[in-house]
Amino acid sequence: MRYPWITLLLAGIACGANAAPTLTYKVDVPGKPLADNVRAWLGNPPETVPARANFMVSARRRVEQSLQALGYYRPDIDLALDRDRDPWRLRIIIDPGEPVTVDSLTVTLTGAASEDEAFAELLANKPLNEGDVLHHGRYERLKNGLLALGQRRGYFDAELLEKKVTVEAGAGLAQVRLHYASGDRYQFGELRLNEEVVSRDLLAKLQPFAEGDPYTLGGLQTLQSDLQRTGYFSGITLQPQLSERADQRVPLDLELFPAKRHSFDLGIGYSTDTEQRLSVTWRTPKINRLGHSQETRLEYSAINPSGRTTYNIPLTHPLDDILQLQARVELNEFGDLESRQREASVRREQRKGNWIVSYHFRALNETWDANPISETEDYLLPGFTVAHKWRKGSLVNPRRGFSQFYTVEGTSTQAGSNIDMVRIYGNWINVVSVGERHRLVNRLEAGAAFIGDGQRPALAPSLSFFAGGSQSLRGFDYQSIGNRVSLLRTDGEPTELVVGGNRLLVGSLEYQYRFLPAWRAALFVDAGDAFDEGEFEANYGAGFGVHYLTQVGPIKLELANGLSKDNPAWRIHINIGAEF
């Protein structure tokens, strides 16, 4: 061969890949933490004869160091080596003895940190205390915790003037001394940025700190997170310039990279309620330096095609206080009625912690018909909504959670509408997991529309209440449950139409069992009615299903039977998405 050294190199690599250990060892010591730490200090068994010799020379010292790290300074260590076997076998028998305990622990704070509540809290919950076993890992956590907290809170000139551990092995006692000299605490300095990308006024609404406030890393992280959440930017770099700190202030450099001016999303989905669905969404995340944005969404389905455009204007906060100007058109089927809606609205949405409160005023024109009904009405509807949710675990598959939603709106003939009405609605969903496999999901909906005398025919389908479908009463058609009226068609034939109710009460109980990591089975019972006042008639269904867990939420295939119907038949419900 022209290059014999390549053959030798490959042979050497092959031999190294298949090398067998020349020595194996076993650790015999009480307690898994001690055994794990000994093995960590000893490392992998040696694979060559020279490595075996080095291993044997250093084994006792490594074992001693591993035990001392956990506070055991007086062990009895016996190394029993069997050279007659291949590979050699080493048994390490350890009696750790009594551990060394902390007799005194003194942490001295000098400088501004001595009056900082964050340091007081750290010392109140420190990982090592007097009377504890001298665990060097916990000592390091205490020492490093002081330094890390100082960096997070702006003590950039801090140092440990003393860090000392004195061990009296014979007495089984140790003295620990730390002296943290913090110096003065720095403040936020000037925030430098390109004002062509975002205005100072908009940034000030997001900024959780002002120039001259005490420095905190948390403040920087909050600002960076909120800037990212606005959707205005594709990238954000926020850096404190420690090398330029002066006069106890640290300047900040903020670099913002604008997001794409326009984005388009295409979507496709399917549900047995609305059948196949196609959507296209056009977004402009930042129209101007003031943070205005818009979103236009067109959806097509056989049941309810719709179009909606929303223009967003930040008020006191770009994320927590938004004014929305919205226009909407939608076709929908409610029971036996076909509805065409045209709406313009103004809405102010405010976030307060986990609560979202909004106030709105909407002008609705709605036309609905079904032989022989044909109506058109106009409504001016002021109102408000309150929503709150919390969850633990995955966003699309929470282990626990509770969601609540309330809305109230009204109108009057004296305000330009054709009806006097107050409408209230509430929705509650509760998720509870029991262990790793069992899950309970409960749902409740309730609503009422209080209408003036003789004005019931003027209540539009979108303001009425309907039930039925995969998100309501399973085992029944989508929005097929509501108040029924008997009429004569234009050709004189009698007919009965589902026109919805002015009351709603629907509940659901569901048990889910996770039988594989991505699969769970479900059993459920749904009951309720959409009805006119005083005419409640219970509808109930039950069924079972299988859910496949994905990153966009469970894909649910369910079979349900409307048990309260005459000659009930099984219905298939398909739905994608989490409970809330």
SS (H, E, C) 504-560: EEEEEEEEEEEEECCEEEEEEEEEEEEECCCCCCCEEEEEEEEEECCCCCCEEEEEE
DSSP code of 241?
A: -
Dihedral of the alpha carbons of 285, 287, 293, 296, in degrees to the nearest 10 = -80
pLDDT at 18: 54
> Where a domain ends, among 150, 181, 212?
181
pLDDT at 8: 43
> Alpha-carbon distance 139 to 158, whole Å?
19
Check whether 15 has a pLDDT greater than 50: no
Check whether 137 has a pLDDT greater than 90: yes
Is residue 35 classed as helix, strand or coil in its secondary structure?
helix
Instruction: State the alpha helices, DSSP H only, in 107-214.
Output: 117-124, 136-152, 200-206
Is 361 within 8 Å of 380 (Cβ atoms)? Answer: yes
Question: Cβ-count burial of 318 within 10 angstroms (0-12 exposed, 13-18 middle, 19+ buried)?
Answer: buried
DSSP code of 105?
A: E
Check whether 575 has a pLDDT greater than 90: no
| CATH number of domain containing 146 | 3.10.20.310
Is 177 within 8 Å of 106 (Cβ atoms)? Answer: yes
Mean pLDDT, rounded, for 508-512: 97
Mean pLDDT, rounded, for 330-335: 92
Q: Per-residue b/e over 425-452, b at no fewer than 16 CB within 10 Å?
A: bbbbbbbebeeeeebebebebbbbbebe
204 and 107 fall within a common domain = no
Q: Which two tokens mark 274?
A: 């609305």
- The DSSP H or E segment spanning 265 is strand 263-271
90 and 56 fall within a common domain = yes
307 and 285 fall within a common domain = yes
Going by their DSSP bridges, the two strands 293-301 and 159-168 should be labelled as unpaired
What confidence category does residue 568 fall into, taking pLDDT thresholds of 50, 70 and 90?
Answer: confident
Q: Which two tokens mark 247?
A: 């006069």
User: How many helices and strands in the chain, by DSSP H and E?
Assistant: 7, 27
Q: Which two tokens mark 548?
A: 């496949």
Question: Cβ-count burial of 54 within 10 angstroms (0-12 exposed, 13-18 middle, 19+ buried)?
Answer: exposed
Poorest-pLDDT segment among 13-17, 30-34, 251-255: 13-17
Question: Cβ-count burial of 567 within 10 angstroms (0-12 exposed, 13-18 middle, 19+ buried)?
Answer: exposed
171 and 200 fall within a common domain = no
Closest CA to 417 of 466, 468, 491, 361: 361
Q: Which two tokens mark 395?
A: 């966003």
pLDDT at 366: 96
pLDDT at 273: 81
Poorest-pLDDT segment among 12-21, 402-411, 493-502, 536-545: 12-21
Is 406 within 8 Å of 478 (Cβ atoms)? Answer: no
> Alpha-carbon distance 26 to 36, whole Å?
11
pLDDT at 576: 84
Is 209 within 8 Å of 138 (Cβ atoms)? Answer: no
Is 338 within 8 Å of 331 (Cβ atoms)? Answer: yes
357 and 407 fall within a common domain = yes
- The predicted-structure confidence for 523-534, as pLDDT tens digits, reads as follows 999 999 999 999
372 and 461 fall within a common domain = yes
374 and 464 fall within a common domain = yes
DSSP code of 21?
A: P
Q: Which two tokens mark 107?
A: 């942490």
Amino acid at 109: L
> Alpha-carbon distance 255 to 163, whole Å?
40
Check whether 4 has a pLDDT greater than 60: no
CB atoms within 10 A of CB 30: 10
199 and 223 fall within a common domain = yes
463 and 494 fall within a common domain = yes
CB atoms within 10 A of CB 258: 14
Model pTM above 0.85: no
Mean pLDDT, rounded, for 140-159: 96
Is 262 within 8 Å of 284 (Cβ atoms)? Answer: yes
- The predicted-structure confidence for 160-208, as pLDDT tens digits, reads as follows 999 999 999 999 999 999 999 999 999 999 999 887 788 888 888 999 9
Check whether 14 has a pLDDT greater than 50: no
Residues 6+ apart with CB under 8 A from 236: 224, 227, 228, 254, 255, 256, 257
Q: What's the domain range around 528?
A: 263-576
Q: Which residue has the higher pLDDT, 542 or 301?
A: 542
| CATH number of domain containing 394 | 2.40.160.50
Which single residue is written with the structure tokens 């899950």? 439
Amino acid at 571: R
Provide, rounded to the nearest whole percent, the portion of the chain with pLDDT above 70. Answer: 97
Is 80 within 8 Å of 107 (Cβ atoms)? Answer: no
> Where a domain ends, among 65, 95, 125?
95
Residues 6+ apart with CB under 8 A from 287: 293, 294
DSSP code of 246?
A: B
Is 215 within 8 Å of 186 (Cβ atoms)? Answer: yes
> Where a domain ends, among 95, 123, 148?
95
131 and 11 fall within a common domain = no
| Domains of the chain: total | 4
338 and 482 fall within a common domain = yes
177 and 193 fall within a common domain = no
